[in-house]
Amino acid sequence: MVKSLANTPEGNPGKIIGISTVPMNFLLLIAPPLAGYMRDVQGTYTIAFNLLAALSFFGGFLFLMARKPELSPAS
């Protein structure tokens, strides 16, 4: 997968966006039932919101640390 991202043309970020939306959509499907379960067990949404905040900060950190892919020369 990393190799396919490195070969993405600089002017065409669609492939990177398409690949990154797969795990995002899966997590969007899982998050509401998980938050509801955590509310049922804990009696509050506080832990669910704190977990969401922590994961958001972690994702933002990874985004800031990402390097620009190196383009391989055209064959």
Give 46-61 pLDDT, tens digit per residue. Answer: 999 999 899 889 988 9
Q: Which residue bears the tokens 């985004």?
A: 63
On the question of pLDDT at 70 being above 80, the answer is: no
Q: Are 8 and 16 contacting, i.e. CB atoms less than 8 angstroms apart? A: yes
Residue 43 region by backbone torsions, left for phi larger than 0, else alpha for psi between -120 and 50, else beta = left
Please tell me the distance from the alpha carbon of residue 31 to that of residue 48, in angstroms, as a whole number: 9
Task: Parse the chain into domains and list their residue ranges.
Answer: 2-65
The predicted model gives 7-22 an average pLDDT of 72
Q: Which pTM value belongs to this model? A: 0.60
Residues in the chain: 75
Confidence of residue 8 (pLDDT cuts 50, 70, 90): low
